[in-house]
Amino acid sequence: MNEVLQIKLGYVNTAFGQVHYREAGGGPTVVLLHESPLSGVVFEKALSFLGKHVRAIAPDTPGYGASTAPSRPLSIEGYASRMSKLLDLLGLNEIALVGNHTGASIAIELAANEPERIKALIVLGPPIFNEEERNEWLIKKKHVEPFQLSSDGSHLSRIWKRYQNRWGADTPPDLLHLATTEFLRSAIRYEWAYRAAFLYNAAKVLPNIVCPTLFLTTEGDALRSNHEKAIELTPTAEGRLLSFPHGQFPLREPRWFSEEIVIFLRRLGFIQQENNATGGSYV
C-alpha cells in the first residue's frame, strides 16, 4: 500500500460560521483535533496513512486555519460544543477521537460529555495544569505574550524564533515555516485557545471518561510530565511512552503516529483486522 491518498478539503456551514476540514479514506471515522495556534494541516501527511484504514477527518478549530473566527474568546467547553455541532452536521454518530495539546483538552471534554458518540480516545500531550502553572502561563504571560505587527516586518522573525526556541534549534525549516504561517493566520487571536486550555480543569474531567483511552506521549513532548498522572486519573486508560526526543509527533513522524493509532484501534475492534496485517508495519 504505497499509494498516496488524495486529501479532500471541505467546509461545513454552521450557525457559528464555516468550519474547514481535511479528509481522507473511508470506513470507521477518526476525528483529529490539532494543537493551537496551528490547524488541521499538522495532520495532513498522517491522513494519507490513516485513510488507508479509516475515514480520517481533521477540522480546523474555530478561529484557526481556515475556519471562521468566533466573535469573542471561547472556553474549552465552548470549543467542544462547536465541535459537537460539527460532528452532528457531518452525521458522525460513532467515532474515535484524537487530540493533541489544546485539541486534547477539547477531545477530553467531548469524550466525557458524549460517551455514546466517542468510542475511543487518543490523547497526545495530557493538558493538566495546577494553579502555579496556570499563573506562570497566564499571569506572567510565559506562553501568551501579546502579538503586535511591526512596520519593518520584525514580527515575522520573532515568530520564527519563537518556534525555534520552543521546538528546538534542530527543527527543520519547513516545519518552522508551517508554524510561522499558521500562527500569522490567527494573529491577534492566536492566544485565545491557549488561554482556554490553561484555564480548563482536565484533571477534574478525566475521571468521567468511560471509553477506552490511550495516552500517547513522546519523551520530548512539552507536557510529558503529565503522562503518568493522566493515566492514573482516567479509569479506562492505558499509556504508551515513545522514545522520541521531540513533540509535534503527528507533524514530524506522520507514519509512526498513524501506525500507533491504527494498532490501538485494531486492538479495540474499532478497525477490523486485515488478513495481511499479521506483523510488521501496519500503515
Q: Which residue has the cell 482516567?
A: 234
Partnered with residue 95 across adjacent β-strands are: 29, 118
Express each pLDDT in 114-159 by its tens digit. 999 999 999 999 999 888 888 777 765 556 677 888 899 999 999 9
Structural element, H or E, at residue 254: helix 254-268
**Average pLDDT for the chain:** 92
Lowest-pLDDT range of 70-79, 131-140, 192-201, 240-249: 131-140
Report, at the CATH architecture level, how domain 8-129+200-268 is classified.
3-Layer(aba) Sandwich (3.40)
What pLDDT does 142 receive?
59
Task: Give exposure, 227-247, as e/b (b: 16+ Cβ within 10 Å).
Answer: beebbebbeebebeebebebb
Query: Distance between CA 219 and CA 234 in Å, rounded?
Result: 20
Q: For the segment 178-216, what is each residue's pLDDT rounded down to a tens digit? A: 999 999 999 889 989 988 999 999 999 999 999 999 999
> For the chain, what are the domain ranges?
8-129+200-268
Edge-to-edge strand list for the sheet holding 237-242: 8-14, 17-24, 55-59, 29-33, 95-100, 118-124, 213-218, 237-242
- Nearest partner of 111 among 122, 127, 126, judged by Cα: 122
In the structure grid, which three cell numbers stand for residue 267, read together? 486492538
Question: Which stretch of 6-10, 42-46, 232-236, 278-282 has the lowest confidence by average pLDDT?
Answer: 278-282
Distance of CA 92 to the CA centre of its chain: 18
Question: What confidence tens digit (pLDDT) does each residue in 86-105 have?
Answer: 999 999 999 999 999 999 99
d(Cα 231, Cα 265) in Å, to the nearest integer?
18
Is the pLDDT at 276 greater than 60? The verdict is no
pLDDT at position 280: 40
Q: What is the DSSP letter of 41?
A: G
What CA–CA distances, in Å, run from 48 to 4, 29, 166, 178, 271? 6, 14, 27, 18, 16
pTM of the model: 0.94
